[in-house]
Amino acid sequence: MNYPTPHINATPADFAKTVLMPGDPLRAKFIAENFLENAKLVNNVRGVQGYTGLYKGTRVSVMASGMGMPSIGIYSHELYNFFGVENIIRVGSAGALRADIKVRDIVIGMGACTNSSFPKQFGMPGAFTPIADFTLLEETVNVAREHSLSFHVGNLLSSDTFYNEDADSSLIWAKMGVMAVEMEAAALYSTAARSGKRALAVCTISDSLVSGEALDSDARQNSFTDMMKLALDVAVKMESKSLS
């Protein structure tokens, strides 16, 4: 038995096969209270709240990851390898690096560049490229189109630094078409690849490094409902695929 762990006080039966993973524990609580029926708190170690309930009759879990790649690396590794989770959909916030991507747009990470050394732990003889699972990506794009959402698909930048001595360094990535900067996707994708599981990062643009526009913390926590419903509908589709 590899559970409970120092970070998750639960059993595999407590989690659905698909877990939505916001960084903010209060966003996990918001999703559970506003979208899940019969939501049950299954983890609260260190205040990292995890819930399982029903969405449109399908069992779905939501649990926070905390901030940064080391944190999501721990939680995703344990969910994949100890708790039987098959799919993790990160539902987070990101900062736009391009002028054509606006605040409140949704970005779907086909890949995740990074300035982190996180992937080096796997001992690859070259540069490993963290990418999303195609099945999750395809389902998410299809659902986003059905919902007529404003979304973009492409590369994210997963950064180890929020406060950077070189304030313009993130914008250099835009020259290569990178859409937005966040802090978790590359670690999630790497961990999923090593675990033989599925992962996708879906983020709402909370601020723009180009225009300077930004949402406050309350809006980031509670108002990204299009992204939340998108990920929940994808979770339902993934469950139906596993049963067919």
Active site residue ranges: 207
- Report phi then psi at 12, rounded to 5: -55, -30
18 to each of 24, 93, 97, 102, 236, how far by Cα in Å? 18, 20, 30, 29, 9
Q: Which two three-digit tokens encode residue 140?
A: 């998410």
One-letter amino acid at 95 equals G
Q: How many Å apart are CA 112 and CA 135, to the nearest integer? A: 17
Q: Would you call the peptide bond into 4 cis, given omega within 30 degrees of 0 as the criterion?
A: yes
Which residues, in sequence order, are CB contacts of 102 under 8 Å at separation 6+?
96, 150, 205, 208
Q: Which two three-digit tokens encode residue 48?
A: 């990292």
Residues present in the chain in total: 244
Rounding to the nearest 10 degrees, give the CA dihedral for residues 67, 71, 75, 78.
Answer: 170
